[in-house]
Structure 1
Amino acid sequence: MTNEFEILKPGKLLLASANLLDPNFKRTVLLMCEHNEEGSIGFILNKPMEFKVCEAISGFDEIDEPLHMGGPVQVDTVHVLHTRGDVIDGAVEVIPGLFWGGDKEQLSYLINTGVIKASEVRFFLGYAGWSAGQLEAEFEEGSWYTADASSEQVFTDEYERMWSRSVRSKGGEYCYVANSPELPGMN
């Protein structure tokens, strides 16, 4: 498999390699939102939590969708990915039509007044973060693959199959990886 860290940038998916056994990241799909000389930030897309946004975050009573575990860093913080950067101040475009963050009070107001639909936002507790050079080192160790991201992947609710589908979409030898059992010794 090719060494892909040279294409690491915001808007890419990070796919945990089958060798990455850290329980925080095992078979995860992350969206990279920031990558620069100071470090990297991303959000795990396929770890929904058992409680809903409306149960956990005040001001978002209309969001009857799962809250997601964004990563193991600062799990007391809330982050949002959305498609409405056209109406939310301070939002950062990650890929065309997909935005990170912005004014949360404005977001709450726009959701509660029906301007923004629940299907256009995804909430995360915490984030995945790496210090300068840390993610590149993990790439060199073979811990991650990359793939292009799309809004559809961010907003899908097919969490169980997201990792295998994303890895398989890379084609070739990745198809074998995508079909490998989680615990080969138990096969």
Structure 2
Amino acid sequence: MTAVEAGVLLVATPALNDPNFTDTVILVLDADDSGTLGVVLNRPSGLAVADVLDAWQDVVTGPEVLFQGGPVMTEGALAVALLTSAADSPVGFREVTGQLGLIDLETPVELLGDSLDSLRIFAGYAGWGAGQLDGEIETGSWYVVPATADDVFREDPSDLWRDVLRRQPGDLAWHSTRPSDPELN
């Protein structure tokens, strides 16, 4: 099993009944002894970035909407960015893993120049206290798997849950074929 650390994905299992997380894929942004923080990658909202954070509307990767990052602090926003391969860390960038990191939304957009390959903005986040996520993993609520940049910035995230599971080795890939409602099968 993949260890929970910044840059991995948490994929909700069918055993997870919390409607906040049903069929979600979460990018872990921070994990340490005090807890874990991440954002839901596959819940775009209907709210345009231009309606809330006008300065960022031309910088975000499509679709140009806010994503529902999770049930915590939904009035706040986190911006996840992928740097271009040649870029040095710009002002306001905090590395999560490799070229992937967080951008401080207080940073003037003009200071970023051509350093960003992709950017997505999330309203709220998912968070777990010390030991809480470990307990949920032990009870079978989450699969922990490696992430790719394509997972974070894909244009249409509607099949992300299935696609992430499908590429996993062994029996885990079989879970991607489960029907949405097993009672109908």
Q: Could you tell me the TM-score, scaled by structure 2's length?
A: 0.87
In angstroms, what is the RMSD of aligned CA positions? 2.0
Taking the aligned partners of 1:148 and 1:180, their CA distance within structure 2 comes to: 21
Identity of aligned pairs, percent? 32
Unaligned runs of 5+ in 1: none
| Aligned twin of 2:94 | 92
Aligned with 2:18 (options 17, 22, 40) = 22
Match of 1:149 in 2: 147
Distance, in Å, in 2 between the alignment partners of 1:168 and 1:115 is: 34
Q: Distance in 2 between matches of 1:25 and 1:152?
A: 21
Match of 1:10 in 2: 6
Deviations 1:90-140 (A, max 9, x none): 4221221111233x23253346xx6466x6110000000001110000000
Tell me, in whole angstroms, the C-alpha distance in 1 between the residues paired with 2:90 and 2:53.
Answer: 18
- Tell me which amino acid in the other structure corresponds to 1:181: P
User: Which stretches in structure 2 are left out of the alignment for 5+ residues?
Assistant: none
CA contact (8 A) 1:95 1:150 kept: no
Aligned residues: 179
Aligned partner of 2:80: which letter?
Answer: L
- 1:78 CA displacement: 0.7
- Write out aligned runs for 1:14-163 (5 A): 14-62=10-58, 63=60, 65-84=64-83, 86-102=88-104, 104-110=105-111, 115=114, 120-163=118-161
Secondary structure in 1 aligned to 2:164? helix
Once the two structures are TM-superposed, the CA of residue 55 in structure 1 deviates from its matched residue by: 1.3
Q: 1 or 2, which has the higher strand percentage? A: 2
**Partners in 2 of 1:100 and 1:171 — Cα distance?**
29
Kindly report which structure 2 residues correspond to 1:161-172, keeping only aligned pairs within 5 A, or say none. 161-172=159-170
CA contact (8 A) 1:17 1:142 kept: yes
